[in-house]
């Protein structure tokens, strides 16, 4: 897997896989977003770095369970109105489950592994 770099928030958002998302960038702190995605055996892994805070609403489109783990600035992430912390792990089943969150800042990162159904 290699990092794909974007200087456009919308292009980065469209590249996010295994989710049907509506994204809004509410604060650009650095015009740089990165995304890495690929399969490792039966698990699909996606990792990202965000160039600023964002709001996200959507649903898991993967047939299995999707996990979300904040890698940095965990306290800056909010999901379903609940602030996250360094020990947070979120599990999303296939649609119609939806969630909203706010990214932490210029170096906020997260992985999203999906395991088979």
Residue-range domains of the chain with CATH: 4-115 (2.60.120.10)
Query: Distance between CA atoms of 95 and 73, rounded to whole angstroms?
Result: 27
Which among 76, 84, 78, 85 has a CA at the least distance from the CA of 101? 78
Query: Distance between CA atoms of 36 and 88, rounded to whole angstroms?
Result: 21
pTM (two decimals): 0.70
Helix locations, 21-95, DSSP H: none
Residue 4 has what pLDDT?
94
Which among 58, 41, 33, 39 has a CA at the least distance from the CA of 110? 33
Region 34-52 average pLDDT: 85
Q: What is the pLDDT of residues 55-84, one digit of tens each?
A: 777 777 887 777 777 777 777 777 777 787
């Amino acid at each position: 897997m290699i990092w794909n770099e974007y200087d456009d928030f919308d292009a980065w958002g469209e590249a996010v896989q295994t989710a049907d998302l509506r994204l809004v960038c509410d604060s650009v702190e650095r015009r740089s977003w990165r995304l890495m995605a690929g399969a490792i055996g039966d698990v699909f892994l996606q990792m990202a770095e965000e160039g600023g805070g964002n709001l996200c609403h959507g649903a898991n489109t993967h047939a299995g369970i999707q996990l979300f783990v904040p890698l940095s600035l965990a306290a800056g992430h909010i999901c379903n109105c609940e602030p996250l912390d360094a020990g947070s792990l979120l599990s999303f089943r296939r649609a119609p489950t939806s969630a909203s969150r706010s990214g932490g800042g210029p170096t906020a990162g997260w992985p999203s592994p999906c395991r088979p159904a």
